Structure 1
């Protein structure tokens, strides 16, 4: 394939998807990432696209949101690895919330094997993945269907989450930076994600390396509210993604890297923080003691959920202080 043909195809992919990783571009045009990076630089010089950490986006600074069919094919191997690692954080009998997204859908497929689990979600795709799981209860929010990502949004979704209290929230988004935290391109989706965060004692963000350093219009979770990030290992040449991970860790976010090489005495994919820095402590549920990693205090101690609209709100002092102002941001 000639350079002009490659660059035309690259440009068409970025225009169709909004954001595409270098790895995916190299696979489609059947060449090396080094060659693709050179093509992307040439297209950027012409003002046709913008380079981002490990990928390319539409010009203009903020990426637009891709539809579900496009996003489902982007970084699929990375999303699978992230979902595998994130599923290991969930224990039998827990109550959690899972937001909308292609990565959280992959997580839901793995959660179907966790007995006694209760999952509250605004995503039709997450609910579908769990619909036939034995001993897994699914609670759907209300709201208006947003067809581009099969999620329920709006005041109905937000109101159904009021008073809800679960152990943790699993969220994805369009971009993640140490400066602004998790963000998305749609205002309604951002508002529901903030409501999901308010319901959880800790927040786990699922984001592949192509989203690191990408900033989109609406902030959903500030960095100081993110407990843990589950991501994949950036390519060796992607120094910016590695720098962003370090910046997130420096702000107290626990980093779990799928496929990372393990250090001495460390299992692959375990949390990592900079030397000499204490990782963020998990915030307990009301009535729990610290030191339990955010899980239930014992058999049967986890919250029992039946309906998102009738659950009584339980206040956790420290957690409430961290998220009380999210709706005002």
Structure 2
């Protein structure tokens, strides 16, 4: 796991090997003595630092259909004339390709690939942060990137990461990327996380967005039998995160336009949480009591199918 992700938390190791964190901590200490990994607070990394992880080319070939469907759905939340932040990542790059069709946008990004996807878009202004180039994902990081975001205010931030849990929120395995993502979040009134089902329930080294700051999660339908992802979705909804689930039909539309809405096979309907205001980062509206079953609602105009999981009664 450490070799694949570059870093891993003790909690995640204990879950995978089905043992206690005390036992995992002892084993990690022994592996460190052999020079196979380095211990860090709450986890372990490959020897020599924090940054070892799968490169962008490898990630770009993973879950491509899911990322396309998520990007199609997420683009429907952006309106003409908005100013938004788009972070680095393969899913956010897919989103950027769809934002190119929305006139009057201002897109602030630290990703060279997001900027490239928007470079020839008519009536879309692209603002790049400063910073140092991180070659593994073509993102600008470091103090230069963070300082260039000071004083900025936009309506929404679209971010992805390596893992998402209800307990810790969004996380990544790279310290520099996490620091810039936190600065991107501070610039936005609403935070939208893009994460396919494989990242649900995964907890990596560095927290980027706490759960109580996430306004909405855009994800895909977990496959049948994936109880971990389904449980995590419900736990996120219980904490007030709005859940939008993209279906496989949405990825078939590609860049030709938004696909038709579909009904959610597991929960039996299309839903959307009523939104009367946008919370600032660090603020959360108190969730209203609601039944645990889905309520059918009419599909939104010019937007893909949206489903919200209702909070359980306490």
TM-score, normalised to structure 1's length? Answer: 0.63
Q: In structure 2, do the counterparts of structure 1 residues 302 and 245 end up closer, same or farther at CA, with 3 Å as the change threshold?
A: closer
Number of residue-to-residue matches in the alignment:
291
- CA distance in structure 1 between the partners assigned to 2:281 and 2:9 by the alignment: 42
3-state secondary structure, aligned to 2:157: strand
Q: In structure 2, do the counterparts of structure 1 residues 141 and 255 end up closer, same or farther at CA, with 3 Å as the change threshold?
A: same
- Aligned match of 1:283: 278
The 8 Å contact of residues 95 and 302 in structure 1, kept in 2 or not, is answered as no
**CA shift digits 1:223-275 (9 cap, x unpaired):** 00000000000001101100000000000000000xxxx99999999999xxx
Deviation of the 1:66 alpha carbon: 1.3
The 8 Å contact of residues 176 and 213 in structure 1, kept in 2 or not, is answered as yes
- CA distance in structure 2 between the partners assigned to 1:136 and 1:163 by the alignment: 21
The 8 Å contact of residues 201 and 285 in structure 1, kept in 2 or not, is answered as yes
Deviation of the 1:19 alpha carbon: 11
The 8 Å contact of residues 161 and 308 in structure 1, kept in 2 or not, is answered as no
3-state secondary structure, aligned to 2:249: coil
- Aligned match of 1:169: 157
**CA shift digits 1:188-244 (9 cap, x unpaired):** 101100000000001000000000000011000000000000000000110110000
The 8 Å contact of residues 68 and 251 in structure 2, kept in 1 or not, is answered as no
3-state secondary structure, aligned to 1:220: strand
**CA shift digits 1:304-329 (9 cap, x unpaired):** 99999999xxxxxxxxxx99999999
Q: In structure 2, do the counterparts of structure 1 residues 196 and 111 end up closer, same or farther at CA, with 3 Å as the change threshold?
A: same
Between 141-150 and 19-28, the greater mean CA deviation after superposition: 19-28
- Aligned match of 2:298: 309
3-state secondary structure, aligned to 1:81: helix
- CA distance in structure 1 between the partners assigned to 2:294 and 2:141 by the alignment: 21
Unmatched runs of 5 consecutive residues or more in structure 1: 1-12, 291-298, 312-321
The 8 Å contact of residues 54 and 241 in structure 1, kept in 2 or not, is answered as no
- CA distance in structure 2 between the partners assigned to 1:209 and 1:54 by the alignment: 24
Between 192-201 and 18-27, the greater mean CA deviation after superposition: 18-27
The 8 Å contact of residues 83 and 104 in structure 1, kept in 2 or not, is answered as yes
- CA distance in structure 2 between the partners assigned to 1:42 and 1:230 by the alignment: 40
- CA distance in structure 2 between the partners assigned to 1:170 and 1:96 by the alignment: 8
TM-score, normalised to structure 2's length? Answer: 0.66
Deviation of the 1:78 alpha carbon: 0.4
Deviation of the 1:53 alpha carbon: 24
- CA distance in structure 1 between the partners assigned to 2:224 and 2:22 by the alignment: 12
3-state secondary structure, aligned to 2:251: coil
- CA distance in structure 1 between the partners assigned to 2:238 and 2:254 by the alignment: 17
Between 299-308 and 208-217, the greater mean CA deviation after superposition: 299-308
Unmatched runs of 5 consecutive residues or more in structure 2: 257-271
The 8 Å contact of residues 190 and 281 in structure 2, kept in 1 or not, is answered as no
- Aligned match of 2:250: 266
Alignment RMSD = 11.8
Q: In structure 2, do the counterparts of structure 1 residues 23 and 235 end up closer, same or farther at CA, with 3 Å as the change threshold?
A: farther
- CA distance in structure 1 between the partners assigned to 2:250 and 2:308 by the alignment: 37
Deviation of the 1:282 alpha carbon: 3.9
Deviation of the 1:283 alpha carbon: 2.1
- CA distance in structure 2 between the partners assigned to 1:307 and 1:245 by the alignment: 18
The 8 Å contact of residues 21 and 210 in structure 1, kept in 2 or not, is answered as no
Q: In structure 2, do the counterparts of structure 1 residues 301 and 138 end up closer, same or farther at CA, with 3 Å as the change threshold?
A: farther
The 8 Å contact of residues 256 and 271 in structure 1, kept in 2 or not, is answered as no
Q: In structure 2, do the counterparts of structure 1 residues 137 and 288 end up closer, same or farther at CA, with 3 Å as the change threshold?
A: farther
Between 45-54 and 15-24, the greater mean CA deviation after superposition: 45-54
Q: In structure 2, do the counterparts of structure 1 residues 241 and 156 end up closer, same or farther at CA, with 3 Å as the change threshold?
A: same
- CA distance in structure 2 between the partners assigned to 1:256 and 1:67 by the alignment: 28
